[in-house]
Every structure is written in C-alpha cells, then in structure tokens.
Amino acid sequence: MHATDSHTADPSAIPEYTIQRLAPAMRKHAVVIPVINEGQRIRSLLQRMTDMNLSAIADIVIVDGGSTDGSLDESFLRANSVAALLTKVGPGRLSAQLRCAYSFCLEEDQYTGIITIDGNDKDDPAPIPEFISALESGVDFVQASRFIPGGIAENTPLSRYVAIRGIHAPLLSFASGFRWTDTTQGFRAYSRRLLEHPGIQPFRAVFSGYELLAYLSYRAPRLGLKCIELPTSRLYPPDEVPTKISSFRGNLGVLAVLFKSVLGRYNPAR
C-alpha cells in the first residue's frame, strides 16, 4: 500500500501535483528526475543508480509530466529505492515539473541540496557523489559539463554542439560573469540557499518550459552565489536523439528564452 495525496499550493507559484510516497525522507540531499514517457530509458537510469547504491547518499524523487507508457510501475520504483513519485497535473512542461519537485523537496526541512538529472539516460549518474561533496563544501550551483577536461561527449548532434558552444554558453558566460561551457545541460545541483534566495525566486509561473535552466545559469553568478562545473559524460545513442526539444521550433524557443534570460526579463520584480 502507499499513500497518495494532492498538493495544491498557490497556483501562481507551484502547479498542482500529486504525491505518491514510496519511502520516508532519509538523506540530506535529493536527486530529482524529471520524466515524461521515457520508457526503457528511465528504467535503465534507475537500474544504474541502484547498481551504484546512490540511494544510500540521496533520496530519489521522480517528477512525472504525465507519462502514459507504463514505465513508472510502482513495483519497479520500489525495487530501485525511489522515495517519491510526483505527478504534475497542472499546466506547464519541464520548468513546471521542476517547480513541483523543488517545492516538494524544500518542504522537507532536512534537504540541504538538490541534484537534478534528466530521465532519458543520456547522463552517467556516477558523478552524483561529487556533486553532493561540492554542495557540502559550500558550492551553491554545480553544473555538469561534457566539455571540460575529464568530460565526455559522444554522438552529440552537430547542430546541438554548435548552438551550445557557439551561442548558448558564450552568451550566458558573458552576461553572467561566470565562464560556462555546457549551459543546456539539465544535470545540475543547487543548494537550498540558492533556491530560497530572494533574488532568485524560482517558484513563479513564468517558468514553464525551459526558462528555469537558462535563468539560473544567468542569475546565480550575478548574485554572488558560488558556481562550479564538474566533468560528466553525456552519451547520445547513435540512432536517435532522446530529447523533448523539436528540431526547429523548439530550438528557436530555447534561443528566445536565452535572450530573455540575459536581458534580465525573468528577474524578480524589486
């Protein structure tokens, strides 16, 4: 048996979502995994995390955007030490999912930091202990990077590589004052201090799609929060590109979000 309840915080701040508790909160950090119809990819990622015994150092929280593929079977989640399954039923996409999960985690007073890793199994979860160590040493924002020494980028689509290395990362680096190399990466870690910082305010309805990722990369360094990059591996399968961003309109949307971020359009009102 499990308990399922509904969380309906201020709709202007947090989309409505349900909570399926599978285990009590145990650790000081949480790993948040956003998913929607990831099929075997999320199962592979969870199995890899189980093999590494990552649940011994962090609680695993999945936030689902409305999967219909049956990949989040309760027995499988329990067998892989998932602590909670959140299901967003309110509006929005990735950033809305993250607002649900981050709000849920912050309500657990014991969590001092949150790691996020995409549920599409492109990222090797092995560096998660290093992310946690960085948070515990006082870092506020850890960004995974496949483009720094020790990082591995395999089968990255050429258009994606050019956009990140030629436009996205340089512009965010210039605007934020911190040299970023892999700014579209969803594999990150944030301190509680960052998420609760009055100059950031991530729990706003404007963050619906991919806005939150670019915004935090821009805003955190400008507020003097401590940011670092750590090397990671991001491996695209050779025969497909597992992403929710469509090739043309989606990439245009990402660029529009980038320009709004660096122009301060998402900054909280003073």
pLDDT 10s digits, 5-55 = 444 444 458 999 999 999 999 999 999 999 999 999 999 999 999 999 999
* Dist CA 27 CA 2 (whole Å): 20
Task: Tell which wins on pLDDT, 101 or 13.
Answer: 101
User: Please, which residues have CB within 8 angstroms of residue 28's CB and are 6 or more apart in sequence?
Assistant: 110, 111, 112, 113
Q: What is the mean pLDDT of residues 143-154?
A: 97
Strand partners, 141: 190, 227
pLDDT 10s digits, 217-240 = 999 999 999 999 999 999 998 876
- Can you read off the two tokens belonging to residue 188? 């990150």
What's the pLDDT at 113? 98
What's the pLDDT at 8? 41
pLDDT of 77 strictly over 80:
yes
pLDDT of 247 strictly over 70:
no
What's the pLDDT at 241? 56
pLDDT of 1 strictly over 50:
no
pLDDT of 173 strictly over 80:
yes
Q: What is the mean pLDDT of residues 76-89?
A: 98
What's the pLDDT at 250? 66
Helix (H, G, I), strand (E, B) or coil at 223: coil
Q: pTM, whole model, 2 decimals?
A: 0.92
* Dist CA 139 CA 267 (whole Å): 22
pLDDT 10s digits, 57-70 = 999 999 999 999 99
Domain boundaries, the chain: 3-262
Kind plus residue range of the DSSP H or E element containing 82: strand 82-88
Strand partners, 172: none
pLDDT of 137 strictly over 60:
yes
pLDDT of 133 strictly over 50:
yes
What's the pLDDT at 186? 97
User: Mean pLDDT score of the chain, rounded to an integer?
Assistant: 92
DSSP character at residue 247: T
What percentage of the chain carries pLDDT values higher than 70?
Answer: 91
User: Please, which residues have CB within 8 angstroms of residue 137's CB and are 6 or more apart in sequence?
Assistant: none
Q: What is the mean pLDDT of residues 64-91?
A: 96
Return the CATH fold of 3-262: Spore Coat Polysaccharide Biosynthesis Protein SpsA; Chain A (3.90.550)
Q: What is the mean pLDDT of residues 106-134?
A: 97
Number of other CB atoms surrounding residue 124 within 10 Å: 19
What's the pLDDT at 238? 82
